[in-house]
Amino acid sequence: MTEEAGKLEQIRDITRIDRIGAHSHIRGLGLNDALEPRHTSQGMVGQVQARRAAGIILEMIKEGKIAGRAILIGGQPGTGKTAIAMGMSQSLGTDTPFTAISGSEIFSLEMSRTEALTQAFRKSIGVRIKEETEIIEGEVVEIQIDRPVSEGGAKVGKLTLKTTEMETIYDLGAKMIESLTKEKVQAGDIITIDKSSGRSTKLGRSYTRARDYDAMGPQTKYVHCPEGELQKRKEVVHTVSLHEIDVINSRTQGFLALFSGDTGEIKTEVRDQISIKIAEWREEGKADIVPGVLFIDEVHMLDIECFSFLNRALESDMAPILIMATNRGITKIRGTNYTSPHGIPIDLLDRLLIVSTVPYDEKEMHKILAIRCEEEDVEMNEEALAILTKIGGETSLRYAIQLITASALTCRKRKGAEVEIQDIKRVYALFLDESRSSQFLKEYQKDFMFSEIQTDTDNSK
Amino acid sequence: MASAKPRSTDRWLEELKSSKKTCLVSDGKKKVHYLFTSGLEMSEDYDLKTGTMLVRRFKRKSIFGGDGKWEFEVGLSSSRGDEGNQIITECFSNPIFTRVDTSVYFQWRIRNLTYPKSNYIISCNPVEREILVKTVNKKYFKKINIPDMDRCELPFDSKALSFDHANNTLIISYKKPLAILDLEKKVFKEISNLKANEDGQVDCAQS
């Protein structure tokens, strides 16, 4: 019995490759068809007003007619601003470009701030275009992936594919192996591989393997083994971002720059040319523009220069929908001595639709913690969850979420089946929250380094 | 139909004439580079002694701009497999397909085919304008186009087709029609008039 359980866990380990992030539990905005938010759905809890607003904006993005609108999500820390943005990105699907950056990301010594912002803008606009590519389409006869003999050695693999007429053995590169393992390709599958990008798609199982039906489950699709040659030229429609086209055309770096990531500055002339070219394609009906979303978290970290750039950039008809999030109230605009709401100049604020998030009440917090427990695979009993909710209310939601996995570990140490109050108590004593930590610091300030240097600025905070 | 033939051969010849040509001699080969008005690039290598064409390849710009890869119509890339391909390549033990022309034949050689001659079914499909290579044991299949014939819009003749198998190599030959021979003569004359650059002093666009 225990042996079986061990086996089960092993299988699970292989299938779950993703790590659990802070917003892994968000799978959408949790709206119904009438754009009314359900109280708890798709990992979202509460924040009904803000979600309703986000739903309307989502509609606007999907319609794709209006360019250069900007939305600001404002609210206290830990009220779900990033969660809402993630939810929007999830419900948009993979075909709409969604770029998420943090306000401090654009401060780099290698690239000017406006260049970084322009690149982010252009990453968020997709172009859907038909292109002829070489694809390999066939039935997998055998797939063999060898682990590297020495540490750090590249994996090597071989893939044998066949059609009704022929059979070929391929050598696989590291990227291809990764993509095939992710798709869980096995003998008997019919797959297509884009030869230049290495993207593989499983079309289904071969009819010749149809007797494996019981083992595969009812949702398996059966297809015929392809005919003729394995390699074909085929027209495929795919979406590339404007930024990708920019990089391919910026002569200095060439196509390889996409992979190394170091693109440097791209000349305005190149961008202008590409914009003209795309306008031509659109007129000829060869390409479609897919406007996407640019999400800038911690937008108060931008300075006055960036804000004035944003003002201008939003006026372009190639601009994406811009979503910004901030947790600041009335504060200084970076790079000036002026204060302004959210640390954003009034002229930009005037262009924004502002959505605000409110602190969660106790019931909602309870729900969120329960969702997180599930996401982090932690069994917690009702009393422990209640006490954790209480802790969350007194300190912060984030702190309470941190305690979940920590308490699960102490629980496992004492060989408990589920997390109980004593585990929560233990980790609550072990790890300080922000207010207890500052309390502690105030008490023992004189014992810390450099405490003898007293300045007036300390008190102003 | 009979009157259409010479016209289409002439069109290709005109296109060659109007293209920007660069020429150099190295390794006992005469290398000619053509840049057509459409942005298409073609390069041909000729053996200096025999005058036969060893390599012909094309390069077209990709749709997003940026350079494409050389595609070989005749001959084989010397840098096989070292493209730093992280993705997928054919294993070296697979059949290798090349076109190697002689003065009177279009000829294709498929190396690494170990099966006996009786295993191959080779036919000509004049409607689809292709030669079909099939195997009885379903291990190899190939549709062969003859771009030279397509460019001149010449009809296919299944009588011109023959094949042989020796040394693990399948050799398929298609006898060049008169119009092609005539055209090649004209092209060769055109090329002979080109002034070849000294070896090493190349004036072609680096890419």
Q: What is the CATH number of the domain that holds A188?
A: 2.40.50.360
* Percent share of chain A, pLDDT over 70: 88
3-state secondary structure of A357: coil
User: Does the residue B205 lie in any domain?
Assistant: no
Residues of the domain holding B102: 8-192
Q: Does A446 fall in a domain?
A: no
Return the exposure string of A302-335: e unless at least 16 CB atoms fall within 10 Å of the residue's CB, then b. bbbebbebbeebbeeebbbbbbbbbbbeeeebbe
Residues A347 and A332 in one domain: yes
For the record, the structure tokens of B56 come out as 């012909």
**Total tally of structural domains belonging to chain A:** 3
pLDDT at A340: 92
Which residues from A are below 8 Å from B67, CB to CB?
Answer: 254-255
Q: Enumerate the β-bridge partners of residue B121.
A: B134
CA distances from A167 to A140, A141, B59, B144, B165 (A): 10, 9, 29, 17, 20
Residues A134 and A210 in one domain: yes
By CB atoms closer than 10 A (0-12, 13-18, 19+), residue B79 is exposed
ipTM greater than 0.90: no
The mean per-residue pLDDT over the stretch A384-405 comes to 90
Q: Closest Cα to residue A347, out of A307, A389, A378?
A: A307
Provide the pLDDT confidence category of residue A453 given band limits of 50, 70 and 90: low
* DSSP conformation letters of B123-179: EEETTTTEEEEEETTSS-EEEE--HHHHHHTPPP-GGGEEEEEETTEEEEEEEPPHH
Average pLDDT, chain A: 83
Q: Which residues of A touch B (CB under 8 A)?
A: 129, 131, 136, 158-159, 162-176, 193, 195-198, 228-229, 240, 244-245, 248-249, 254-255, 274, 277
CA angle B18, B19, B22 (to 5 degrees): 130
- pLDDT score at B170: 92
CATH of the domain at A77: 3.40.50.300
d(CA B141, CA B170): 12
Question: Among A134-143, A212-221, B54-63, B118-127, where is mean pLDDT lowest?
Answer: A212-221
Counting the structural domains of chain B, the total is 1
- The reply to whether A22 falls in a domain is no
Mean pLDDT for B198-204 is 54
Domain presence at residue A255 = no
Per-residue pLDDT, B6: 52
Task: Indicate if A230 and A142 belong to the same structural domain.
Answer: yes
| Chain B, nearest residue to A245 by Cα | B64
Taking the C-alpha atoms of residue A281 and residue A123, their distance in angstroms, rounded to an integer, is 19
Nearest residue on chain A to B91, alpha-carbon basis: A170
Lowest mean pLDDT segment, chosen from A10-24, A238-252, A279-293, B35-49: A10-24
For residues A23 and A84, what is the distance between their CA atoms, to the nearest angstrom? 10
Q: Does any domain span residue A67?
A: yes
Residue B202 covered by a domain = no
**pLDDT tens digits, A212-271:** 555 666 667 888 888 888 888 888 887 888 888 888 777 554 455 455 455 567 888 888
Contact B131, B124 (CB under 8 A): yes
Domain that holds residue A382: 362-430
Last residue of a domain, one of A236, A260, A282: A236
CATH number at residue B151: 2.60.40.790
Taking 90 as the threshold, does the pLDDT of residue A296 lie above it?
A: yes
Residue-level pLDDT at A333: 92
Q: Is the pLDDT of residue A459 over 70?
A: no
The per-residue pLDDT for range A62-79, each reduced to its tens digit, is: 887 777 788 999 988 888
Read off the pLDDT of residues B142-171 as tens digits, 9 standing for 90 and up.
999 898 888 888 888 888 899 999 888 999
Q: State the CB neighbour count (10 A cutoff) for residue B78.
A: 7
pTM listed for this prediction: 0.71
Instruction: Let me know: does A133 contact B69? Beta carbons within 8 Å.
Output: no
Average pLDDT over residues A131-149: 85
Instruction: With a cut of 70, say whether residue B2 has pLDDT above it.
Output: no
Rg value, chain B, Cα: 18
**A151: distance to nearest CA of chain B, Å?**
19
What is the average pLDDT value for chain B, to the nearest integer? 81
**Lowest-confidence range among A122-136, A200-214, A231-245?**
A200-214
Q: Which residue has the tokens 């929908």?
A: A321
Q: Do A169 and B90 touch (CB under 8 A)?
A: yes
What is the DSSP pairing of strand A125-146 with strand A156-162? antiparallel
For residue range A305-318, list pLDDT tens digits in order: 999 999 988 888 88
Option in A195, A244, A254 nearest B88 (CB):
A195
Residues A135, A222, single domain; the answer is yes
Instruction: Note whether B91 contacts A164, CB cutoff 8 Å.
Output: no
Q: Which two tokens stand for residue A169?
A: 């053995």
Instruction: Provide the CATH number for the domain around residue A390.
Output: 1.10.8.60
Best mutation site among A131, A132, A168 for testing chain B: the one with the most B CBs within 10 Å? A168
Of A236, A263, A282, which residue sits at a domain end?
A: A236
Are residues A221 and A155 part of one domain? yes
- Enumerate the residues of chain B whose CB falls inside 8 A of the CB of residue A173: 85-89
Does the beta-carbon distance from A193 to B141 stay under 8 Å?
no
Question: Which residues of B are less than 8 Å from A277 in CB distance?
Answer: 65
Q: Read off the tokens for B172.
A: 């398929």
Tokens of A290: 């897919």
* Contact between B65 and A197 using a beta-carbon 8 Å cutoff: no
Helix A397-413, helix A421-430: angle, nearest 10: 110
pLDDT at A145: 85
Query: Does residue B198 form part of some domain?
Result: no
Whether A287 maps to a domain, the answer reads no
Is residue A245 a part of any domain in this protein? no
Query: Does residue A156 lie within any of the structural domains?
Result: yes
Least confident of A3-7, A178-182, A183-187, B56-60: A3-7
3-class state of residue B22 by DSSP: strand
**pLDDT for position A212:** 59
Judge whether B91 lies within some domain: yes
Section B41-45 average pLDDT: 89
Residues A136 and A198 in one domain: yes
A107 and A65 in a common domain:
yes
Burial class of residue A117 in the structure, from the number of CB atoms within 10 Å of its CB (0-12 exposed, 13-18 middle, 19+ buried): buried
Which of A166, A195, A277 shows the shortest C-beta gap to B138?
Answer: A166
User: Cβ contacts (< 8 Å) between A131 and chain B: which residues?
Assistant: 63
CB A344 within 8 A of CB A359: no
Which of residues A254 and B129 earns the better pLDDT score?
Answer: B129
Between β-strands A321-326 and A293-297, what pairing exists: parallel, antiparallel or unpaired? Answer: parallel
The pLDDT of residue A332: 92
Confidence of residue A287 (pLDDT cuts 50, 70, 90): confident
